[in-house]
């Protein structure tokens, strides 16, 4: 693909800046992309090769004493495509350099600690790409909508999360926060597909319908999350998810941008390369 088919950088067009409103957001759109699905698939494959190279550089840096890492945070309602991002985007890089964590309902042990306790334990090691399938943001989303704690408790968490993420960035972790937004109609179609296909039954959870019934409350919770925690150092990127190919391409581009900003280089060897060549020849 000779030209860049993005009208505007996905980093620019998908960032949740001041004044962003979910009520006017179109989950079926493909903002910034000027070509079709086939071109998007080709672009993603090409960019994936570059992403894999950079991820290997980061892994090598970590093996050589580096302290930097990248953290991809994925949030979204059920069927928004988080699993597809893991398989099709994260799946393009070397799995030995990936730390993956999925956050569901807290265990009794986790509930006995501060809500960030389980998050800290899952942070990526130096040199790794960390991926959070759901995250600490469950504690201002599900917790808020389901009224699991009083408003003054979850309300204080926005500032706590901002401080936590500032700490991570200061320690060398680049954070890419992606909110995958699927429409009510598309979610219904995807849930129905799970019910109609035996190979998808395991993915269906009757509790998904309870959350679906609270769609307006969840939208309000997501809006508040974006309003309070899309910061300069850790902004939110809101990705339309009705078209799976677009969502996967967009996340690939966002992740690649984060890696490129690190200015990665292959670490210098700690041994004499020429001397090792001679030693090898002598064996």
Cα separation, 149 vs 200, in Å, equals 34
Taking the mean position of all CA atoms in its chain, how far away is CA 100? 11
Cα separation, 182 vs 172, in Å, equals 32
- Mean pLDDT, rounded, for 49-56: 98
> Is 1's pLDDT higher than 70?
no
Q: What pLDDT was estimated at residue 5?
A: 87
Q: What pLDDT was estimated at residue 224?
A: 98
Angle of the 244-260 helix axis to the 37-63 helix axis, nearest 10: 30
> Is 2's pLDDT higher than 60?
no
Contact between 281 and 77 under an 8 Å Cβ cutoff? The reply is no
- Angle (CA) 207-225-16 rounded to 5° is 120
Residue 72 phi, psi dihedral angles, 5° rounding: -100, 120
**Mean pLDDT, the chain, integer:** 95
pLDDT tier, 116 (very low <50, low <70, confident <90, very high otherwise): very high
- Order across the sheet with 98-102: list the strands: 98-102, 129-133, 69-76, 173-181, 236-240
- Mean pLDDT, rounded, for 38-58: 97
Percent of the chain scoring above 70 in pLDDT = 99
Give the DSSP H/E element, type plus range, for residue 171. none
> What is the per-residue DSSP string for 122-143?
TPPPTT-EEEEES-GGGGTTHH
> Is 57's pLDDT higher than 90?
yes
Contact between 70 and 124 under an 8 Å Cβ cutoff? The reply is yes
Task: Give the predicted TM-score (pTM) of the model.
Answer: 0.95
pLDDT tier, 4 (very low <50, low <70, confident <90, very high otherwise): confident
**Cβ-count burial of 37 within 10 angstroms (0-12 exposed, 13-18 middle, 19+ buried)?**
middle
For the chain, the maximum distance between any two Cα atoms, rounded to a whole number of angstroms, is: 72
pLDDT, tens only, 64-112: 999 999 999 999 999 999 999 999 999 999 999 999 999 989 999 999 9
Helix residue ranges per DSSP H, the chain: 10-13, 37-63, 82-88, 108-111, 117-121, 142-145, 151-155, 157-170, 184-196, 207-212, 215-229, 244-260, 273-281
Structure-token pair, residue 117 = 């306790």
pLDDT, tens only, 189-239: 999 999 999 999 999 989 889 889 999 999 999 999 999 999 999 999 999
> Is 267's pLDDT higher than 80?
yes
For the chain, the residue count is: 283
pLDDT tier, 3 (very low <50, low <70, confident <90, very high otherwise): low
pLDDT tier, 18 (very low <50, low <70, confident <90, very high otherwise): very high
Q: Which of 94, 4, 5 is nearest to 52 (CA)?
A: 94
- Mean pLDDT, rounded, for 246-275: 96
Q: What pLDDT was estimated at residue 247?
A: 98
Q: Which of 90, 87, 53 is nearest to 71 (CA)?
A: 90
């Amino acid at each position: 693909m000779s030209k860049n088919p993005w009208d505007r950088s996905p980093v620019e067009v998908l960032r949740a800046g001041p004044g962003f409103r979910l009520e006017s957001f179109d989950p079926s759109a493909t903002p910034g992309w000027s070509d079709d699905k086939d071109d998007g698939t080709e672009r993603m494959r090409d960019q994936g090769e570059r992403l894999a190279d950079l991820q290997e550089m980061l892994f090598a840096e970590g093996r050589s004493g580096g302290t930097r890492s990248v953290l991809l945070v994925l949030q979204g309602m059920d069927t928004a495509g988080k699993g597809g991002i893991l398989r099709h985007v994260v799946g393009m890089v070397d799995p030995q350099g990936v730390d993956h964590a999925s956050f569901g309902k807290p265990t009794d042990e986790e509930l006995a600690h501060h809500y960030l306790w389980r998050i800290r334990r899952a942070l990526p090691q130096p040199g790794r790409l960390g991926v959070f399938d759901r995250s600490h943001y469950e504690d201002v989303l599900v917790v808020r909508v389901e009224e699991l704690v009083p408003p003054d408790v979850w309300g204080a968490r926005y500032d706590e999360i901002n401080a936590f993420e500032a700490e991570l960035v200061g320690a060398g972790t680049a954070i890419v926060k992606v909110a995958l937004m699927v429409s009510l109609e598309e979610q219904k179609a995807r849930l129905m597909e799970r019910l109609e296909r035996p190979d998808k039954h395991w993915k269906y959870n009757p509790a998904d319908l309870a959350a679906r019934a609270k769609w307006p409350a969840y939208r309000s919770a997501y809006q508040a999350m974006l309003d309070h925690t899309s910061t300069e150092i850790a902004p939110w990127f809101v990705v339309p998810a009705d078209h799976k190919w677009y969502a996967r391409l967009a996340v690939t581009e966002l992740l690649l941008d984060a890696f490129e900003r690190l200015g990665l280089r292959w670490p210098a060897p700690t041994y004499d390369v020429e001397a090792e060549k001679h030693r090898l020849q002598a064996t």
